[in-house]
Structure 1
Amino acid sequence: MSWDEDGTPHPLALRRTGRSELEPDRLPEMRELEVLGWEPAPEDLRWVFLPYVWPPADRTWIPDRSTHWAVDTALDGHGHITGVECAPLPEPDLRDLDREADEALAALGLPPRPRGRLWLLRPVGPFTTLGALLDHLDGLAAAGAVAARPSEAFLALARTELAALAAPEER
């Protein structure tokens, strides 16, 4: 298991460089990979470890050249929107997001994620979508009385099941 620290991004990502004002899910390379069966790794903190334990043949990453936006909405006394301002999320706020993930990973005994990556995963085993596979992991956790949150027990359950699903069938 690793973050593939020395690995290279998916080849489709190499055609594009530079910062984009698009959000991560709107990047052209993200959309191209989704057409090929890749799905963005979930952003929910309970899945923060997922790319680390995902079978290497079914995970990839692209450089994060997106912009994360802060949206401020002004309302009048009646709850009607009177103005909306969008601005790139300041660097300290981005570091806060990374720190929260790094703290959760450290509590699991895992190293921090490499910076500047957007992870994509392909479903393994009989599952056709990432959502279906995550539901399966949630079901296994519930059946085993394991809380579906970042914990050593949930990490071990996910790691074991993903390895089993990715293993070639024995004949």
Structure 2
Amino acid sequence: MSWDEDGTPHPLALRRTGRSELEPDRLPEMRELEVLGWEPAPEDLRWVFLPYVWPPADRTWIPDRSTHWAVDTALDGHGHITGVECAPLPEPDLRDLDREADEALAELGLPPRPRGRLWLLRPIGPFTTLGAVLDHLDDLAEARAVPARPSAAFLALARAELAELAAPEER
């Protein structure tokens, strides 16, 4: 289990460089990989560890060259929108997002994520979507009375089940 610190991004990502004003899910390389069966790793904090424990053959990453946007909406006294302003999220706000993830990982005994990566995962085992794998992990956690939240018990359950799903021929 690792963050593949010394690994290289997916080859499709190497064709593009430079900052983009697009959000992460709108990057052309992200869309190309989705067509090939890759799905963005969930951003929900309870799954922060997922790329770390996902089987290496079924995970990849691309450099995060996206822009995260802050949207400010102005309303009148009746709740009608009178204006919308978008601006790139300031660097301190981006660091706050990383800090939350790093704190959650530290509580699990895992190292921080490498900066500047967007993780993509492929469904494993009999599942055809990432959502189906996550639902399976949630169901398994419920059946074993393990709260489906960032905890040592949930991490261990997910790690073991993902390893088993990735190697069904060894059963």
- After TM superposition, the score normalised by the length of structure 2 is 0.99
Give the deviation of 1:65 after TM superposition. 0.0
Give the deviation of 1:120 after TM superposition. 0.1
Give the deviation of 1:44 after TM superposition. 0.1
Q: Deviations over 1:35-57 (max 9, x none)?
A: 00000000000000000000000
**Would the aligned equivalents of 2:125 and 2:168 in 1 still touch at CA under 8 Å?**
no
Give the deviation of 1:168 after TM superposition. 4.2
Local SS of the residue matching 2:168:
coil
Aligned partners of 1:80, 1:69: CA distance in 2, in Å? 22
Aligned partners of 2:75, 2:159: CA distance in 1, in Å? 46
Local SS of the residue matching 2:21:
coil
Aligned partners of 1:168, 1:132: CA distance in 2, in Å? 17
Q: Deviations over 1:45-101 (max 9, x none)?
A: 000000000000000000000000000000000000000000000000000000000
**Would the aligned equivalents of 2:67 and 2:88 in 1 still touch at CA under 8 Å?**
yes
Paired residue total: 171
Aligned partners of 1:124, 1:130: CA distance in 2, in Å? 8
Matches of residues 141-152 of structure 1 in structure 2 within 5 Å?
A: 141-152=141-152
Aligned partners of 1:106, 1:82: CA distance in 2, in Å? 43
Aligned partners of 2:89, 2:5: CA distance in 1, in Å? 26
Aligned partners of 1:35, 1:28: CA distance in 2, in Å? 11
Aligned partners of 2:131, 2:169: CA distance in 1, in Å? 23
Give the deviation of 1:146 after TM superposition. 0.5
**Would the aligned equivalents of 2:64 and 2:118 in 1 still touch at CA under 8 Å?**
yes
Aligned partners of 1:11, 1:170: CA distance in 2, in Å? 30
Give the deviation of 1:170 after TM superposition. 3.7
Aligned partners of 1:13, 1:92: CA distance in 2, in Å? 26
RMSD over aligned CA atoms reads: 0.8
Aligned partners of 1:148, 1:29: CA distance in 2, in Å? 31
Q: After TM superposition, which residue ranges in structure 1, 4 or more long, deviate above 2 angstroms?
A: none
Q: Deviations over 1:2-24 (max 9, x none)?
A: 00000000000000000000000
Aligned partners of 2:150, 2:20: CA distance in 1, in Å? 31
Q: Unaligned regions of 5+ residues in structure 2, if any? A: none
Aligned partners of 1:168, 1:87: CA distance in 2, in Å? 47
